[in-house]
Amino acid sequence: MLDDPASASRPSASRRRFLAAAAGAGALAASGRGANAADGNPKNLPPNVPEWTRVLGDGVAVRPYGQPSKFEKHVVRRDVAWLTASPESSVSFTPLHELDGIITPSGLCFERHHAGIAEIDPADYGLMLHGLVDKPLMLTLDDLKRFPRVNRIHFLECAANSGMEWRGAQLNGCQYTHGMVHCVEYTGVPLRLLLQEAGLKTNAKWLLAEGADAAAMNRSIPLEKALDDCLVAYRMNGEMLRPEQGYPARLVVPGWEGNIWVKWLRRLKVGDQPWYTREETSKYTDLLASGRARKFTFEMDAKSVITSPSPQTPLRGKGFTVISGLAWSGRGKIKRVDVSLDGGRNWRAAKIDGLVLDKACVRFYAEHDWNGEELLLQSRAVDDTGYVQPTKAALREVRGINSIYHNNGIQTWRLLPSGEVENVEVS
């Protein structure tokens, strides 16, 4: 017997939990990241009997809705206070550096709201479909659920993702430079079926989608896209949409800028021309070097980022390491991801692991035996149209530096001998 679990001196289960939490928090503060065996109490290491083996754990249903381990409290959405004037019209960023695979856990999906989160009672929910149609519709949530449905995994990227980096390296962490992207499995009705049910007039060309939030955010969508692969989704990752993501229904517009994925969807109007709403004139247009603005940049160009190592996930020592990242393209499938360790002079193909889907994130890995020297880490996505993710310099040549949106330039992380990582640019 290694130890006596029935020893009278053993503290209560709740005290043990408190001690464990304190130890975890200490390790976290000291290293800036999750606990590691080297920081811990050797008494808990095999072959000793650890604290958690000496007590009964919580029973079932003590946690009716499961939450991550308390030791993962640092894995959260974060915002940048100075970025926006108010939290109601703001953005929180996905902690990409703490995630793996391609699916973003629902509670970690970045949020972008123009007027806060609308709280909609599904019993009072209605979706109106009108305009140039034969038969206007008013659909309840139950009506939507009665239509044939599909499941699709797609990325959603805000057009403003990496928007703070146009004038140079700015924010230290891929959560902030690239965290306005998430990739989720949606369940919903193909928009085509709803439009067919209403019956389109022959002059129908555009669709207006409007949200039920205090911004009543609205955008014009070409009918061609609406009839192609758009969904009215009511589920994400199997469960109903989260309030932050548009509960009870949102538009899914695969490959297109996040702004057009209208949340809390309440109205679809069919017309014969675009409406030129605020979100497609004053916002979400791209000011070019010439001073002219480009309108309707719907598609998100191929992009990638190394999520680890990155400023928030430094390396803890020399030796074998897995460089990991995400790539996506709004035009189709990712065909290849290249990784460079020397700021783009030499490239090698990374390993793509897991699903490779249309207009979805892919996960890539590049293995490296790090000898402690400084590296300039980059990744470069290539999609199945042959499009190659450009350098930031190449992008600025075409776009100038007055843009906010659609910055898909190659990101550089400088890995220092200490293992720390910085956001830099190479020329």
Binding site for Mo ion (CB under 5 A): 112, 158, 258-259
Residue 113 engages ligand MTE in binding (rule: CB under 6 A): yes
What's the CA gap between 184 and 140, in Å, rounded? 24
Among 51, 98, 213, 229, binds ligand MTE (CB under 6 A): 213
Unique residue bearing structure tokens 């702004």: 259
Torsion of CA 381, 383, 387, 391, to 10 degrees: -10
In this structure, the strands spanning 127-131 and 265-271 are parallel
- The H or E element that residue 25 is part of is helix 13-31
Cβ distance to ligand MTE smaller for residue 267 or 363: 267
Residue whose CB is less far from ligand MTE, 149 or 250: 250
- Number of chain residues interacting with ligand MTE (CB under 6 A): 21
Q: What are the structure tokens assigned to 11, written together? A: 């503290």
Q: End-to-end CA distance of the chain: give it in Å, rounded.
A: 64
The secondary structure of 181-250 as a DSSP string is: EEEEEEEEEEHHHHHHHH-B-TT--EEEEEESSTT--EEEEEHHHHHHT-EEEEEETTEEPPGGGTTT-E
- Verify binding: residue 221, ligand MTE, rule CB under 6 A: no
Compare residues 160 and 381 and give the one whose CB is closer to ligand MTE: 160
Looking at beta carbons only, is 159 or 270 nearer to Mo ion?
Answer: 159
Which residue of 258, 311, 330, 409 would you call a contact of ligand MTE, by CB under 6 A? 258
Asked whether position 264 contacts ligand MTE by CB under 6 A, the answer is yes
* Closest distance to Mo ion from the beta carbon of 405 (Å): 8
| Binding-site member from 111, 165, 286, 338 for ligand MTE (CB under 6 A) | 111
For Mo ion, give the closer residue by CB, 259 or 307: 259
Q: State the nearest-atom distance from the C-beta of 110 to ligand MTE, in Å.
A: 5
Beta strand spans in 244-361 (E)? 250-252, 265-271, 286-287, 293-294, 303-308, 319-328, 334-340, 348-349, 351-353
Q: Collapse the DSSP code of 140 into the 3-class scheme (helix H, G, I; strand E, B; otherwise coil) and give the result.
A: coil
**CA–CA distance, 22 with 48 (Å, rounded to integer):** 21
Judged by CB under 6 A, the residue of 162, 220, 259, 321 near ligand MTE is 259
Nearest to ligand MTE of 180, 395 (CB atom): 180
For residues 211 and 225, the answer to whether their CB atoms sit within 8 Å is no
Asked if residue 263 binds ligand MTE (CB under 6 A), the reply is yes
* Residue 245 engages ligand MTE in binding (rule: CB under 6 A): yes
Contacting residues toward ligand MTE, per CB under 6 A: 109-114, 156, 158, 182, 211, 213, 215, 217, 244-245, 258-259, 261-264
